[in-house]
Each structure stands twice: as C-alpha cells, then as structure tokens.
Structure 1
Amino acid sequence: MDRHALEHALRQAAVPPTHYWIEGVHEPSPTPTDFLYAREDPGGGWETGAYERGTHKTIARHPTEDAACAHLWQLLNWVSP
C-alpha cells in the first residue's frame, strides 16, 4: 500500500485527520499537537513514528514506502476507535 492508498483507506475508515501525517499526501495545517506519521528517512528508506509536543520520535525504520504505510495503518488501527 503506497501513501496515497493509505490516506484513502484512513479516510474511508473515518480515522480523524488530525491523528496522522503522511509526507507529501496528508500534512495537516496547523500542525496538530500529537499524531502518528510516515515520512522519508533522510538516511534512506522510510520511518514511522509519533510526533509529541514538538518532537518526532521514530518507532520503526522501513526499507520501502509500502512497508512504512502498512506499519502506520497498523498503528492507527490500534489507537483509533
């Protein structure tokens, strides 16, 4: 699942848009206080993590966008109603 498909699936699942941030596809403005994210890792690959109180905290690094998106889907389905 790429980031466009993930964003579509999250909307279909009614996950609140302030709960997640997907680089280049869903970047809420103003930036929410806390959210889960998927973004390109400056060192290569992708990362998923949590943004809390102004700090990005990496949860996992992934070799591909698809792997990062699958992980973010799992994280959001765990925390969303």
Structure 2
Amino acid sequence: MDREQLNAALLAAGLPPESFQIPGTHTHDPLPTDFWFLRKGARGDWEVGACERGKYEVRERFNTEPDAAAWLYRTLTGQAPSGA
C-alpha cells in the first residue's frame, strides 16, 4: 500500500477527510486542529503520528512507505489493510 492507496482506503473506510493528512495526496487548507499524518522524514524514513493543536508528535518511524501506510491504516481503522 502506498500513500495514494492509503488515502483511498481511509476514505472508503468512512474516515472523515479532515482526520488525516498525507502530503502529496491528501492535505487541507486551512489545517484542522487535530489529525493523523504520514510523511517522509528528514532522515529518509517514513513518519506517522498525530498533530494535536498544531504540535506534531511522531508515534512511529518506518524504513518503507508500505509499512508506514499499513501501520496508519491499522491504527485508524482497527483492521489490517486488504492484501496484508
């Protein structure tokens, strides 16, 4: 699962669009107060976490985009991504 597939899967699962941000595929203007995110880290890894009241908190880091996307999907839906 890549970022675009994650975006589509989260929306298909019924998550509100403002509940997550995936740069390059799903962003907001203006930003909501609280949301989950997946982004490329400064070290070349993938970061997933939550932004609450403008403060980003990285909860996990992954070497690959598919691993990060799967973690965020499981965290937000409580289910494994299809095909996982």
| TM-score (norm. length: structure 2) | 0.88
Mapped partners of 1:23, 1:55: distance in 2: 17
Q: Note if 1:13 corresponds to 2:13.
A: yes
Which 5+ residue runs of structure 2 have no aligned equivalent?
79-84
| TM-score (norm. length: structure 1) | 0.91
Percent of matched pairs sharing the same residue? 42
- TM-align CA RMSD: 0.8
What is the CA deviation profile of residues 23-70 of structure 1, one whole-angstrom value per residue up to 9, with x for unaligned ones?
Answer: 210011110000011000011110000001111100000001111100
State the 1:6 CA deviation: 0.6
Mapped partners of 1:17, 1:72: distance in 2: 14
Regions of 4+ moved over 3 Å: none
Mapped partners of 1:22, 1:34: distance in 2: 14
State the 1:2 CA deviation: 0.3
In the alignment of these two chains, the number of paired residues is 78
